[in-house]
């Protein structure tokens, strides 16, 4: 269990995009990370504090609610989700990570340098 989750993050905008959580799912024969509200593939995520314990069952329920097909095996999906949630406590709130998988299929969250927000050029008189 953890009190942290990932939300989609845009490196171009240097900020989180949307308010949905990110989870690994099986899509067309491979594992991908998606936003649970839009089901679009996500490359980067930001760690946020959710204020309550999040379990594998909670994330699995959100995946089912989104209408996504579960892996060929529910046990495999639960195993991947457990691996994913086990990675989150090692990260700090606000960290930006690249989402991916190792060659053996385990979750890989690679910490990235947080980009500076582009505020534009301010020419004050």
Q: How far apart are CA 34 and CA 98, in angstroms?
A: 13
pLDDT at 121: 58
Across the chain, which has 125 residues, the per-10-residue mean pLDDT values are 89 83 82 86 91 90 82 81 90 90 82 75 59
Q: How far apart are CA 77 and CA 112, in angstroms?
A: 26
pLDDT at 64: 86
pLDDT at 49: 92
Number of neighbours of residue 109 by Cβ within 10 angstroms: 19
Domain boundaries, the chain: 2-112
């Amino acid at each position: 269990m953890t009190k942290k989750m990932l939300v989609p993050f845009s490196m171009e905008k240097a900020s989180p995009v949307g308010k949905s959580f990110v989870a690994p799912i099986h899509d067309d024969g491979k594992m991908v990370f998606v936003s649970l509200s839009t089901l679009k593939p996500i490359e980067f995520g930001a760690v946020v504090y959710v204020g309550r314990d999040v379990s594998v069952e909670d994330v699995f329920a959100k995946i089912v609610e989104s209408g996504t097909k579960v892996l060929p095996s529910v046990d495999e999906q639960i195993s991947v989700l457990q691996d994913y949630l086990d990675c989150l406590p090692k990260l700090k709130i606000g960290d930006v990570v690249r989402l991916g998988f190792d060659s053996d299929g385990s979750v890989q969250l690679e910490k990235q340098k947080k980009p500076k927000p582009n505020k534009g050029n301010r020419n004050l008189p």
